[in-house]
């Protein structure tokens, strides 16, 4: 990647940390936010290489974890929901505020969205971390049984737990909750009997409907992957 930055960087992470954070939090359009995320992670990897701040592959920590857990999921959502529009601006916010991004939608009606804030959560747990660790050590692993079905059932349970947790927190008006399933992180191949077809839209949607009373703090809730929005809910709409 060839990156042009109109400011001076020293090449030392401790000195440039604040500048990279400022770059990361700059407003960008829904059309450009995926490339924006790639630039941020490329700067982090380059400036932290060989330093204690570098992430120990395959683990993610510090800014790298924030980028993968928040900024890339926001970018995928922007491509899907906002149709990569140049008239939608998104600003990622690092820190402990009760939202992860702000949205300014300047599209004309009826395309304009009422969403003003984004809160992101990713469906991951220790099982994902252990699988990633094994892949980093072995390169390729074989698992008997229907891994796809088992993984999906675990993600459904993680969705329920995530909604319970988020439903207890106060958020600004017009906040959308984004639940990123992160299933594209691992490349899978099946041999033998064809894997069972998984109805993700209905299974994830059933959890949203079940937990609707807990989600009234949000204007909308979305469950989605890198390539598809599986289901959405407007908790306060009858």
Q: What is the pTM of this model?
A: 0.89
Strands 28-29 and 88-92: antiparallel
Q: What does the DSSP assignment read for 47-99?
A: HHTTSTTS--TT---HHHHHIIIIIHHHHHHHHHHSTT-TTEEEEE--SSSS-
27 in any annotated domain:
yes
pLDDT of residue 136: 66
113 in any annotated domain:
no
Distances (CA, A) of 188 to 40, 158, 197: 28, 21, 15
Domain shared by 73 and 139, yes or no:
no
pLDDT of residue 139: 67
114 in any annotated domain:
no
Domain shared by 24 and 70, yes or no:
yes
Cα separation, 17 vs 47, whole angstroms: 9
52 in any annotated domain:
yes
Domain shared by 45 and 142, yes or no:
no
Three-class DSSP category at 102: strand
CA dihedral of residues 60, 63, 64, 65 (deg, nearest 10) = 50
Strands 229-233 and 220-224: antiparallel
Residue 83, domain extent: 13-92
pLDDT of residue 186: 64
Domain shared by 128 and 50, yes or no:
no
pLDDT of residue 137: 67
Cα separation, 30 vs 193, whole angstroms: 41
Report residues of the chain scoring pLDDT below 50: 238
Domain shared by 140 and 228, yes or no:
yes
Domain shared by 32 and 135, yes or no:
no
- How many domains does one find in the chain? 2
Domain shared by 73 and 131, yes or no:
no
Domain-ending residue, one of 50, 76, 92: 92
Cα separation, 206 vs 231, whole angstroms: 9
Cα separation, 58 vs 124, whole angstroms: 14
219 in any annotated domain:
yes
pLDDT of residue 135: 64
157 in any annotated domain:
yes
pLDDT of residue 95: 85
73 in any annotated domain:
yes
Domain shared by 78 and 153, yes or no:
no
Cα separation, 159 vs 218, whole angstroms: 16
148 in any annotated domain:
yes
pLDDT of residue 124: 86
Domain shared by 37 and 129, yes or no:
no
pLDDT of residue 190: 60
Distances (CA, A) of 33 to 66, 76, 84, 149, 160: 15, 9, 9, 32, 29
Domain shared by 130 and 227, yes or no:
yes
Domain shared by 130 and 85, yes or no:
no
Domain shared by 84 and 185, yes or no:
no
pLDDT of residue 8: 81
The C-alpha angle 81, 83, 87, rounded to 5 degrees, equals: 110
């Amino acid at each position: 990647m060839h990156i042009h930055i109109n400011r001076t960087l020293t090449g030392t992470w401790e000195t440039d940390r604040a500048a990279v954070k400022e770059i990361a939090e700059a407003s960008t359009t829904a059309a450009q936010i995926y490339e924006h995320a790639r630039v941020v992670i490329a700067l982090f990897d380059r400036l932290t290489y060989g330093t204690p701040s570098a992430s120990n592959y395959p683990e993610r920590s510090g800014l790298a974890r924030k980028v993968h857990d928040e900024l890339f999921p926001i970018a995928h959502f922007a491509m899907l929901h906002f149709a990569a529009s140049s008239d939608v601006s998104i600003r990622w916010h690092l820190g402990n505020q009760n939202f992860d991004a702000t949205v300014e939608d300047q599209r004309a009606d009826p395309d304009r969205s009422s969403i003003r804030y984004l809160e992101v959560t990713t469906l991951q747990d220790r099982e994902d971390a252990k699988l990633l660790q094994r892949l980093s050590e072995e390169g390729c692993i074989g698992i008997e049984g229907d891994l796809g079905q088992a993984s999906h059932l675990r993600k459904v349970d993680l969705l329920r737990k995530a909604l319970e947790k988020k439903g207890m927190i106060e958020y600004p008006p017009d906040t959308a909750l984004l639940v990123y399933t992160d299933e594209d992180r691992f490349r899978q191949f099946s041999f033998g009997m064809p894997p069972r077809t998984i109805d993700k839209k209905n299974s994830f949607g059933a959890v949203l409907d079940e937990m609707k009373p807990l989600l009234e703090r949000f204007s909308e809730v979305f469950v989605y992957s890198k390539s598809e929005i599986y289901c959405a809910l407007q908790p306060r709409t009858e």
